[in-house]
Amino acid sequence: MALVAGLLALDALAILVTYSRIDPQQLYHVSGTGLHGGLSRVLVALDWPDALIAVAALGAVWHRLPARVRPLGWVAVALCAVVAVPGVVKQSDLDARWVNVLPALGTLLSLALALRFRGRAPLAPATAVAVPVLLLLSIPCLGAALGYHVGLGIFRTGELWHGEPSVHLGFHHGWAGALIIICVLLVLPLAERRLARGWLWLLLVYGAVNCAQDFWYEQVVKRDWTSRSIPGALEPRLHWIWAAMLAVGAALIVRDRRTHPPASAR
């Protein structure tokens, strides 16, 4: 659990530094400058994707929480859930507003409660393989998060596409998707409650689709190899991509229930 919190803290630090020192014109849908701009973007990141990850982390260890602190857990989940209200986080305007404080508080409270659990989860073989692959594919996004175009002669990053760099500097939803996947894989072995495991599987699919969509658009479509894009899936909507995500998520949940019965049944 400390590793998940550490990853989110490092991500927040990178956002703070990058958005504090780089002209907002080179970033994505922000207007703040200096430290104010950096703190503003960190606050929004605490809403999305951090609130989703924090609920997953808290749910994974919920059965290990003392009964006396569980009411605080429900408060934390309720605060995090505010991020699902339309308009709280807008892709078209990522400057912080007062409403963003609520999910951010929920994120911090959820992580604080989850960190009460000091045990370690076993590292599954799939995780040991998936994490390095995700980090490798995320090199363009990781470089952008630090404020640099890093292509290593392999990825398309600073090359112009329609007059703008193929990969804008700053935080990318593709990296958010990769971060979600990594954190889900880290906490999934700890989860015992079916509700928590169900949320983790759905979140895994959500992260995977957003990671793939961003990578495909920036590394395939922007090379003019094809004009076909993966539809955006940041926000819930009536679209086949969301129907497909829910179907895959449901299939994974059903499979998980067959292979991972409740603790009481084991």
Which pLDDT tens digit goes with each residue over 213-245? 999 999 999 999 999 999 999 999 999 999 999
Tens of pLDDT, residue by residue over 176-208, are 999 999 999 999 999 999 999 999 999 999 999
Q: What is the pLDDT of residue 266?
A: 44
Separation between Cα atoms, residue 87 and residue 101, nearest integer Å: 14
Q: What is the pLDDT of residue 262?
A: 64
Please give the mean pLDDT across all residues of the chain.
Answer: 94
Tens of pLDDT, residue by residue over 105-133, are 999 999 999 998 876 777 778 888 999 99
DSSP designation for 92: T
Contacts of the segment 212-218: beta carbons below 8 A, 24+ positions apart: 212/177, 213/173, 213/174, 213/177, 214/141, 214/172, 214/173, 214/174, 214/175, 214/177, 215/137, 215/174, 218/140, 218/156, 218/166, 218/167, 218/174
Q: What domain count does the chain have?
A: 1
Does the pTM of the predicted model rise above 0.85? Answer: yes
Range of the domain at 83: 2-265
Among 157, 152, 144, 138, smallest CA distance to 223 is for: 157
Separation between Cα atoms, residue 37 and residue 39, nearest integer Å: 6
